[in-house]
Amino acid sequence: MKKLITLFALPLLFLLSSMSGCEKDDDEDITPEEAKLHVEFTNSTSSAYTISVMQLRPHGNAGEADSPAIGDWGANILPTGTTIAPGETHIMDLPIPNLYWDEYRLGVINTNGQTIMLHEQEGWTNETGPPITHWGGDNRRCDVTVVYNESRNLIVISGWGDWAY
C-alpha cells in the first residue's frame, strides 16, 4: 500500500512544485514608464505629401504580425499645428507597451491645402497600416513614404520602415 501511495504522491508533488514558479502575466501590471516608446518618425525625402494627422490603433504581441486590433483608433497624436514635411522628423514618446505593436494611419495635406485622411479616399481598400513595434529596445526609428499612385488614383503609403536603435 505504501508503494502505491508513493507511486501517486511523487508525480503529484513534482507537478505542484513545478507550478510554484508560475506567475500571472497581466497587461494591467505594465507601468506607464514601461509603456513609453521613444520614436523618431521621419516623412521620407521621397514623399510627395506633408503629414498633418497620425492616428494609432493598438494590436497585440509584436511577434504576431497578423494579431487583430485590441483597441480603437485614437485621436491625432501630433500636437496641434504640427506637420511633418518630406525629409522632416518628429520625435515623440508613445504609450506602446513593451513587446506590443500599434498600427498607424495618416492624414496628409493635398495639393489644394486640405487634409485628406488616406483611408477615407474613394476606392481605398481596407488595408492594415504600417506598424510601430516596441521590441528590441525602447527607441525606434520609423519612416514612411507617401506618394500619389496614378493607377489607383489614390494617395498611398508606398514604403515604410520600423527599426530599434
In a domain, 130, yes or no: yes
pLDDT at 25 over 50: no
- Residue 146 inside a domain? The answer is yes
- C-alpha to C-alpha distance for 81 and 68, rounded to whole angstroms: 32
* 135 within a domain of the structure (yes/no): yes
Per-residue pLDDT for 58 more than 90? yes
Instruction: Determine the pLDDT at residue 99.
Output: 94
Domain tally for the chain?
1
Q: Burial-class residue 106 by CB neighbours within 10 Å (0-12, 13-18, 19+).
A: buried
Judge whether residue 94 has pLDDT over 50.
yes
Please give the model's pTM, rounded to 2 decimal places. 0.79
Domain that holds residue 48: 31-164
How many other CB atoms are there within 10 angstroms of residue 57's CB atom?
16
Model pLDDT, residue 133: 95
Higher pLDDT, 128 or 148: 148
Give the span between the Cα atoms of 42 and 23, in whole angstroms: 39
For residue 66, what pLDDT is reported? Answer: 77
Residue 114 domain-assigned (yes or no): yes
CATH number where 142 lies: 2.60.40
